[in-house]
Amino acid sequence: MQRLYTMFPSGSPGAGLILLRIAVAIHLIGGTKECDITLMSFWMAAFFCSLAALLVLGILTPLIAGLSAMDEFICLLTGGWSLFPLTAIAVICAVALMLLGPGAYSVDARLFGRRIVVLPPARDVDHS
């Protein structure tokens, strides 16, 4: 799992990644309504809402951002050409989030972030 994450930036970059996660999650919820797929059932809507909630919390961010990018790309291919700029921006933002990772202010950073290991002091061993 560690290979999915390169760094967990904090400060301004971490706040920017929170905003990017929120923007992709909002478009994940609202963007599927604009798509020409009319078979949006309750379970699909619940699935996309749960993915958006996981994305905002920063749980499995690269995986969920990749699913979001695929969803938007499929929406683009199935006839969402009237909203091409908005959908293209959503795909680009989701791919960027997938490559950048969740940031320091996420559940992923708490679960998979770098840790400081403090070793106990060495005991004197008598070899006689």
> Which pLDDT does position 37 carry in this prediction?
52
Q: pLDDT at residue 92 above 80?
A: yes
pLDDT, greater one: 17 or 7? 17
- Rounded-to-integer distance, Cα 9 and Cα 117, Å: 20
- By the 10 Å C-beta count (0-12 exposed, 13-18 middle, 19+ buried), 34 is classed as middle
Mean per-residue pLDDT for 92-116? 82
Cβ atoms within 10 A of the Cβ of 104, count? 20
Residues 6 or more apart whose Cβ sits within 8 Å of residue 30: none
Element (H, E) at 51: helix 42-57
- Among 55, 67, 46, smallest CA distance to 102 is for 55
Q: Residue ranges of the domains in the chain? A: 13-112
Render pLDDT for 36-90 as a digit per residue (tens, 0 to 9).
555 567 777 788 888 889 989 988 888 999 998 888 888 778 766 677 888 888 8
Confirm if 66 and 72 have CB atoms less than 8 A apart.
no
